[in-house]
Amino acid sequence: MTTKTAPVSILLVSKNSFIYEATRSTLGNVEFLSLIAKEITTSNYQAVIAETKPNVILLDYEFQNQPVDILEQITTDYPESAVIVILPESEMVNSDRMILSGAKAIIQYPYLADNLVVTIKRVLELKVRDHDYLIRIPVHAAESKPRNTFIVFSPKGGVGTTTIATNLAISLQKSLKEDVLLIDGKHQFGHVALYLNLRTGNSITDLLHYAGLLDQRLIRQVALKHISGINVLPSPNSIFEAQGIKPENLFTVIQSLQQVFSNIIIDGGNNLNENTVTYMDSSDKILLVLNPDLASMRDVKQFIEVATTLSYPKDKTLLILNHTGRKADVRREEIENILKMKIFGIIPSDENLVLSSLNEGVPVLLKSPRHPISKAFSDISSELEKIIQASRDEYQAKGKSKKTEIS
């Protein structure tokens, strides 16, 4: 006889009848989610939360005049309930403020497609993941250390994430003179090994089999040393292996990799799935790649909206403008104005060089180190090095302050 798992309880803290009806109709057909039917007012919401102990609280930004105050009060008094803030489209500019005040995620109202269900599922997954990780890792070892993990991603295919990730890993290793791990995060149809002319049966799936039991020796046996000096973890050798990769196991493996390699570059490709989001969650920065054309800009703009839903702060995303220098290109100033973001790095176009580099299995930085493209990769890696150094300085400063408190 099988037993059913208890549904996840959702409490909507809102006085807006339209939001209530939209939430009820959206969640009504989702079997594992249960919306608590309680009338909420500004005077009784605390008593209702205490009584029902919901897994998730949907907090309407306009529930009362001081949304930050009520959010901080709820997250402090009821830490077991994950809070998702419902923001009207006109108030989306306050999303970062809500995250800093304790919200686990943001959802825009009116709800778009199935965004509400997806956001709730993600918050629940992160809640379980964080809980399991804290149990598995001793408190003193779970303290925030600089991870220096960067994922190269684009919502549009064919913009060169593999070329950028590969060359940035090599450039970063040369400038830092430290170990750098390059991960092929495109589990299906990944090309990192091809770009580097690596013939191997090793892949990330060799580590996934031992998720939670990994040590440095095993990790270094699987990761390959390339002639450039970087370490490489290729994608799976078959589509069937790739399809078996689960986000929770991948997250555990990434945590282990970050204990061994203090600098990691991930080729995230252009497919936004659960595993890609797991890589993004584990990364300090997302290097978001676009070409100077309208189609690429549209896709990037949509991803930036998704990143807000995923609760990523704005400074987590860095724009990389690739394939520049053509007459028909949209100007840099226009791109920055439309996307409301500064461009972090610019890479010029030379299709013949990039294509010959791929065909020969020799990265641009090694094939033509004086070429403007190589110079661009060096410039971007120099900026990443500044980010790395800043995180290390901050970590050391925290360590010194703790020692002073103890003494």
Q: What is the pLDDT of residue 37?
A: 87
Domain containing residue 342: CATH number = 3.40.50.300
Give the residue from 118, 139, 160 where a domain finishes.
139
Q: What percent of the chain has pLDDT over 70?
A: 92
Residues 32 and 73 in one domain: yes
Asked whether residue 274 falls in the same domain as residue 183, the answer is yes
> Which positions ≥6 away from 336 have C-beta within 8 Å?
342, 343
User: 99-112 pLDDT, tens per residue?
Assistant: 878 888 888 898 87
Task: Please tell me whether residue 148 adopts helix, strand or coil conformation.
Answer: coil
Q: Does 55 fall in a domain? A: yes
Strand partners, 183: 233, 266
Q: Mean pLDDT throughout 386-393?
A: 92
**Are 263 and 171 found together in one domain?**
yes
Q: In this predicted structure, what is the pLDDT of residue 379?
A: 97
Residues 312 and 373 in one domain: yes
pLDDT in tens, 335-366: 999 999 999 999 999 999 999 999 999 999 99
Please check whether residues 200 and 60 belong to one and the same domain: no
How confident is residue 4, by pLDDT bands cut at 50, 70 and 90?
low
Confidence of residue 135 (pLDDT cuts 50, 70, 90): very low
Number of domains in the chain: 2
Distance set, CA 36 to CA 22, 69, 90 (Å):
14, 23, 28
Q: Please, what is the end-to-end C-alpha distance for the chain in angstroms?
A: 59
**Partners of 348 in beta bridges:** 324
Edge-to-edge strand ranges of the sheet holding 285-290: 224-225, 231-233, 181-184, 264-269, 149-153, 285-290, 317-324, 343-348
Would you call 53 helix, strand, or coil by DSSP? coil
Q: Does residue 335 share a domain with residue 210?
A: yes
The parent domain of residue 179 ranges over 149-403
Residue 3 lies in a domain: no
pLDDT of amino acid 191: 94
Cα separation, 99 vs 59, in Å, equals 13
**Token digits of residue 363:** 């990265």
Domain shared by 183 and 305, yes or no: yes
HSE on the CB side for 269, CA within 13 Å? 18
Claim to verify: residue 183 and residue 276 sit in the same structural domain: yes
Q: Report the pLDDT value the prediction gives residue 142, as an integer from 0 to 100.
A: 43
pLDDT digits (tens, 9 = 90+) for 33-89: 889 988 899 899 999 999 999 999 999 999 988 889 999 999 989 988 999 999 998
